[in-house]
Amino acid sequence: MNRFFFVGLSIAVVAFITSNFLLLFGEKSIISKELYVSEYEQAFTHTYTEALPKEALTAPQDTIEIYVQEDEALEQWLVKEGDAVVAGAELARLNESETEDQRAVWESEQTALQAERGEVQSTLQELLQAQSSQTGNVTDNSNDSTTFPGIGDIEEELRLDVNVSVGVDVPENGAYASAIAQAQQRLASIDSELAVVEAQLAQSSENPALISPVEGVVANINRENAPLSIEIYNNEREFVTYLLEDEWHDVEQADRVMIQAPGIEGAIPGTVTSVSEIPAEESKWFQAYRELGRIDQNNPIAFYEVRITPETPLQDEMPFGSNVNANITLNEAQDAVALRDRWIYDNDDTQGTAYVLNIDGRPDAVPVEIAFAQHGRIILEGGMEAGELVINEEKLHDYPGRPRLFMPFPSRQPDYNYAKNTEWRAYVEYLLAR
């Protein structure tokens, strides 16, 4: 009798517990539940910056090379390496008997440069007009994916003309910005060469001399090999550095840069003015950069030159070739919220989901936009406001419904300096008050 009684009682107790468990935790249960969350923090805003540190070298903004085609035309060099020269200063004395032949060479150069300048200017105008036309067509037909009539013909004609005649490469995808930049760069180079030739032709034939078209410093004189030449650095300084293959995609023209240099207090602000698309050519700057960085990589030619222009002139503040530290700003988010990377779910590097506590004490799943990652935190550019209470609990991601949450009270502990400067009476009063 007693055995059947205890068996029945056990079955009844198990059934009671099971039914209560189902009523409490079943999917159709109407009884509210609470979930304990141990990790949470209040969101606040800050300015976050991602930077790329690079070794850089001080270089001239422009280098002028002046050639003497006929060795017999040169009588005597009047300057040496390191000499400062002004525009119009005599660099070398020429033989009067050979002047006419040299002037004929300069006149031929002037004619060729002027003709090339006209071609580049014409091509540049066509590129600008085609770019404007393409932009207008895309804007007017933003919802139409068909090919625009005439655009392909224009691109092909310009590509052939620019590539063959001028040496500027127009991309196959019709992105004109690169071709326009190359044309403008070539135009500036032609103007520089024309200035040299015109300065030589403008001088008197009675006392012929090789003169400097710019103010600067004599960098090198070729006294031995024909054609003889002299190289002049203009006084304006800029900085040159080089990107590796995996860094090239991160740096863009107009990126902000902070420069730290020996002998200059504080940091020098600057701007990236050019990022080369072709491997760097061998030069003293490139060789010095490789020696400074001791860089070892599989692809030996995957170095790309970057030019950085300071906001304020640095004519006499540092010598050419001096080593500086450059911090290139890759990403910046102002008044942005940053969360620990594991607090964001469904993270695909551009979007994700985070949980915040709403006014009812329940979790809300909030879609967030990701700017970039830094030091174990995800910097957000949208979706989260300052002051919101962000929570981290893996169970929430698969939890049925939206349970009420309860969390530990935040604790605040005084730091060492505060504790050291507090009198013992305050500790006693605090202990008694508890």
Task: Judge whether 363 and 402 are in contact, CB under 8 Å.
Answer: yes
pLDDT digits (tens, 9 = 90+) for 158-171: 444 444 444 444 44
pLDDT at 155: 44
- At residue 39, the 3 state secondary structure works out as strand
Three-state SS for 263? coil
Give exposure, 368-382, as e/b (b: 16+ Cβ within 10 Å): bebbbbbeebbbbbe
User: 306-340: per-residue pLDDT in tens?
Assistant: 999 998 888 677 899 999 999 999 998 888 999 99
d(CA 384, CA 43): 8
Q: Name which residue leads in pLDDT, 332 or 97.
A: 332
9-64 residue pLDDT tens: 788 888 888 877 776 666 566 666 677 888 888 899 999 999 999 999 999 988 88
Mean pLDDT of the chain: 80
For residues 233 and 236, give the distance between their C-alpha atoms in angstroms, rounded to a whole number: 8
pLDDT at 149 over 50: no
Does the reported pTM lie above 0.85?
Answer: no
Q: Which residues of 37-68 are buried (b: 16+ CB within 10 A; e: fewer)?
A: beebeebebeebbbbbebbbbbbbebebebbb
Above 70 in pLDDT, residue 412? no
Helix (H) or strand (E) holding 266: none
Residue 291's pLDDT band (boundaries 50, 70, 90)?
Answer: confident
Angle CA(292)–CA(294)–CA(300) in degrees, nearest 5? 115
Residue in the block written with tokens 């107009």: 254
Mean pLDDT, range 195-202, rounded to an integer: 76
Beta-ladder partners of 388: none
Q: Are 344 and 365 in contact (CB under 8 A)?
A: no
